[in-house]
Amino acid sequence: MKKLKMEYKDIWETYTEEDRKDLFDYGDRYKEFISRCKTERECTRDMVRIAESHGYENLEDLIDTDRRLEAGSKVYANYNDRALVMFCIGKEPLTKGLNILGAHLDSPRLDLKPTPLYEDSGFAMFKTHYYGGIKKYQWVAIPLAIHGVIVKKSGEVINVNIGEDENDPVVGVSDLLIHLAKDQMEKKLGEAIPGEDLNICLGSIPIEDEDEKERVKVNILKILNDKYGIIEEDLVSAEIQLVPAGPARDYGLDRSMIIGYGQDDRVCAYASLEAQLEVESPDKTTVTVLVDKEEIGSMGASGMQSRFFENTIAEVLHLTGDSSNLSLARTLSNSKMLSSDVTAGYDPNFPSVMDKYNSAYFGRGVVFNKYTGSGGKSGSNEANAEYVAQLRHIMDMGDVKWQTSEMGKVDQGGGGTIAFILANLGMEVIDCGVPVHSMHAPWEITSKADIYEMRKAYIAFLKHA
Ligand code: MN
Ligand code: MN
């Protein structure tokens, strides 16, 4: 009898010993990446370094030269250290369309306010403003690390990283002791920790100078000055992010999963990078675009709504000897994209919010979301059935295990990604990623099998779309 039913096998059972080794090796490389890169800048710089070591050249160095891009040429564009686009030129002209992988590099966190430092009752403190959608109660009583840049008036950029080395100190936001939490415990979960109260404790030793006021604050300024040569005013031109301190780790006694900060969406960004590097001499030009600001609406110069992506494609077209507007329009509208972002994983602790027939499960592979949005698919760019069918075929070609889902029950909530922005340029786009538990929590969880299949899916897409 012909196979009529769609069935999901537990993919762990399908792996050979060699597959498993490959899979765990990939998990290790990914864990190292998210442990050393916890801001969009750290991700961009690290990825540029890796790309260069694979022969990618900075597009900026080619503009206004006589160099021409041809099949096999590899270039990247670094947008202010916050977004990155990589191209491997294909054998076919760009106007036949690009095969694009897109993901975002920013993750929810606590940012410093422009005037952050103050002293209160013997403590030096930082004021913060949270970034992205967080459950605020999850960010108290955990060790946080300080990452970011401080730019001096001279233009000198100072990189800050405190709290990742095991000998570094960490900082954090205190929570109210349970013994005195009678009123707090009666509040709604979303109101128990107000955003304005997410203040970071930095220290408690006063500087040895009797004439100073706010001696604890001054002592912290001295520590920062000794280490980075900065003064308080320099914090005005800084981007400092408070993120969970410490490395990503194996999760589960069988080590089948990974727990780490910022997996939304670096899990897709890292897989995209590896796939982009792996596919050399493609037929169609392959592109990986990694952007910032997704968690706050994709606005801003380094967000997906910015023109930098189109402008970069125009520059690349120009370097292949074709600079007409019509060619740019054709290139965009003939392109295909996997908009890669994480999705809700079915969680046995919270079954009531999911439609179990249309959920993404750990261990079933890469996930395609034909649509996202909320309510009646509001805000979604739904992928065409023809495109989904083509992807099923491509996944077969790459022997990729995949599943489909939608994000939770109808009318339960929802979410959006960068997909609709690219779809607005007239290209075929679908949401694609892996299921996550505890999304947007300080420590998020993914399955090693799913991220391994995602990497395979991206390679198949770049080769065959
Ligand atoms: Mn995301
Ligand atoms: Mn997110």
Residues 287, 260, 141, CA angle at the centre, nearest 5°? Answer: 135
Report pLDDT digits (tens) over 400-450: 999 999 988 999 888 888 999 999 999 999 999 999 999 999 999 999 999
Query: What is the distance in A from the centroid of ligand 1 to the CA of 364?
Result: 20
Among the bound ligands, name the one nearest to the CA of residue 134.
2
Domains 11-107+261-464 and 109-244 share a fold: no
What is the model's pTM?
0.97
Query: What is the distance in A from the centroid of ligand 1 to the CA of 330?
Result: 29
Query: Residue 197 corresponds to which amino acid?
Result: D
Residue 214 in tokens: 């706010």
Query: What is the distance in A from the centroid of ligand 2 to the CA of 132?
Result: 7
Strand order in the sheet with 249-251: 249-251, 257-260, 444-447
pLDDT for residue 373 is more than 90: no
* pLDDT at 46 (0 to 100): 98
Torsion of CA 233, 235, 238, 242, to 10 degrees: 180
Q: Domain spanning 11-107+261-464: which CATH class is it, in words?
A: alpha beta
Query: What is the distance in A from the centroid of ligand 1 to the CA of 295?
Result: 7
Q: What is the mean pLDDT of the chain?
A: 96
Torsion of CA 225, 230, 236, 241, to 10 degrees: -70
* pLDDT at 133 (0 to 100): 96
Query: What is the distance in A from the centroid of ligand 1 to the CA of 268?
Result: 9
Per-residue confidence band for 9, with pLDDT thresholds at 50, 70 and 90? confident
CB < 8 Å & 24+ apart, contacts of 206-210: 206/122
Among the bound ligands, name the one nearest to the CA of residue 132.
2
Query: What is the distance in A from the centroid of ligand 2 to the CA of 228?
Result: 32
Query: What is the distance in A from the centroid of ligand 2 to the CA of 290?
Result: 14
Per-residue pLDDT averaged across 27-32, rounded?
Answer: 98
Report pLDDT digits (tens) over 301-350: 999 999 999 999 999 999 999 989 999 999 999 999 999 999 999 999 99
The CA distance from 277 to 87, in Å, is 10
Strand duo 336-340 + 98-104: pairing: parallel
Query: What is the distance in A from the centroid of ligand 1 to the CA of 104?
Result: 7
How close are the terminal C-alpha atoms of the chain, in Å? Answer: 32
Query: What is the distance in A from the centroid of ligand 2 to the CA of 340?
Result: 11
Residue-range domain boundaries for the chain: 11-107+261-464, 109-244
Q: Which CATH superfamily is domain 109-244 in?
A: Aminopeptidase i, Domain 2 (2.30.250.10)
Query: What is the distance in A from the centroid of ligand 1 to the CA of 97?
Result: 25
Per-residue pLDDT averaged across 345-374, rounded?
Answer: 95
Residues 109, 115, 118, CA angle at the centre, nearest 5°? Answer: 95
